[in-house]
Structure 1
Amino acid sequence: MTEATQELMYELMKRIQGDVAGLKEGQRDLLQEMSSLRGQCHLLQGDFNNLRNTVGHIDIRLERIENRLELRELAEAQARFEPHP
């Protein structure tokens, strides 16, 4: 009887060991996927920063253009009041 109990315990332990090995493999896969997702998030953050920088430059250029147009409009308005030879 003792031998049968030991044999059952041995089989149970082998099954548990196999289950634990499967869990470890699944955990390893999840860690790799999380690492990949983390890398993709960092890349997206870099893309957002680049876009923000580009929009900032465009905003500065647009402001310069608007200022030039206002100066031209002021010069044209002033020219109406100046005598022409």
Structure 2
Amino acid sequence: MADATAELTLEVLKSVQARLAQVDGKIDELKQEMQASRTSQNGIRQEITSVFQEISGIHATLVRHEGRLDRIEKRLELADAPTS
């Protein structure tokens, strides 16, 4: 009777051990997927940052051109006359 209980316990423990090995494998897969996602996110962040920097540069150029056009209009007296 004790041998049967010991064998049964051993079989259950083997089953639990096999399941734990599967869980460990799945956890390793999830870790790899998370790392890949983080790497992808970092790449996207860098792309977004470069887009914002480029837009900022374009904005600065437009501001400079607007100032130059204002000066040209004043010099040529092309400014709109104020309305009453």
Match of 1:49, as an amino acid? S
Aligned to 1:13: 20
1: CA distance, partners of 2:66 / 2:54: 18
Equivalence map 1:31-46=2 (5 Å): 31-46=38-53
Equivalence map 1:43-58=2 (5 Å): 43-58=50-65
Identity, % of aligned positions: 21
Please, what TM-score do these two structures have when normalized by structure 1? 0.79
Q: How many residues align?
A: 71
SS in 1 for 2:77: helix
Please, what TM-score do these two structures have when normalized by structure 2? 0.80
Does structure 1 residue 59 correspond to structure 2 residue 58? no
Task: Point out where structure 1 has 5 or more consecutive residues left out of the alignment.
Answer: 72-85
1: CA distance, partners of 2:11 / 2:55: 66
Is the radius of gyration larger for structure 1 or structure 2?
1
SS in 2 for 1:70: coil
1: CA distance, partners of 2:48 / 2:21: 41
What is the CA distance between 1:12 and its match in structure 2? 0.3
Task: Point out where structure 2 has 5 or more consecutive residues left out of the alignment.
Answer: 1-7, 79-84
Structure with the largest fraction of helix: 1
Match of 1:59, as an amino acid? E
Say what the alpha-carbon RMSD is for the aligned residues.
1.1
